[in-house]
Structure 1
Amino acid sequence: MKNAFIYLILAATTIPLSSCTTTSDGFRRQSQSITARSGVRTLVAKNWHIDDDCRHIDYPAIDIVEQPKHGRLEIVHEPLFPKLVGKVSKCETTKVNGVVGYYTADKGYTGSDRLVIRSPYEEGKTEEGVLSVTVVK
């Protein structure tokens, strides 16, 4: 069987990585900060599981570890372009089935929020994403 790609991308928009910690037991924690508009659905994570020929294998799990306090996090299955951070892949231009996370702050809320999600990123490895959100009007 060909190698498969599984990736979690927090703040899938062009937000720089603020910190990443990897342990020897295959657990990685990634922290990022983003700005979101109050009441506006914002892409915060995407994950896919495809083979080397860009074919869908399955829908990887994205588990919500901590729900946001001032909004909601929705996890949906939808087609996406599998962008690999820092790597070029022939699959970047092929839409594949994946799992996407969207954060929506409560309408009218401004201030800070936080959410934590967990997902596999390679065979037998897990990544936890901590997302700090600044909500603006």
Structure 2
Amino acid sequence: MKTVRCLVLAAAAISLSACTTTSDSSRQQTLSITARGGVKTLVAKNWHIDDDCNQIDYPAMTVAEQPKHGRLEIVREAVYPKLVGKQSKCATTKVNGVVAYYTPNPGYTGRDRLVIRSPYEDGKIEEGVLTVTVVK
């Protein structure tokens, strides 16, 4: 059985719109992002913590498709996890995680695309397909 869940997020100069499609072995999230030219923009973050907000490990995050008009950098750094349910108490605790940043090529404006993959649960893969509109 396949389910579709959509949400819209907005923050400062970055506008995000997402839809998630789920199957038994994977889920895919599509995002439309607006980024400013020459500015490093956070596009994804991931963490793996227990119920007490302690890090279990650094989750894997890989680039499945590089952007054609910019650079995608994946780094380990502390993040505030965005959680619901019983782990929502961790939302105000910085935890070690993995973060992806997109930086457009100098002088470039227009559209770009990138794909990030990360495992979740046993043997399942989450794929983030990001369409980036770079503006001045």
TM-score, normalised to structure 2, is 0.84
1:74-118, Cα deviation, whole Å (9 max, x unpaired): 00000010012xx25010010000000000001110000000000
Distance 2:76 2:20 in 1: 26
- Counterpart residue number, 2:36: 37
The one-letter amino acid of 1:70's match is: H
**C-alpha spacing 1:56/1:122, structure 2 compared with 1 (3 Å):** same
Residue ranges of structure 2 left out of the alignment (5+ in a row):
1-8
Residue ranges of structure 1 left out of the alignment (5+ in a row):
1-10
- Counterpart residue number, 1:20: 20
Find the residue that maps to 1:90 and give its secondary structure.
helix
The one-letter amino acid of 1:15's match is: L
Distance 1:53 1:124 in 2: 24
Relative to total residues, which structure has the larger strand share, 1 or 2? Answer: 2
Which structure has more RCO (C-alpha within 8 Å, separation ≥ 6)? 1
**C-alpha spacing 1:44/1:12, structure 2 compared with 1 (3 Å):** farther
Question: How many residues are aligned here?
Answer: 123
CA RMSD of aligned residues (A): 1.7
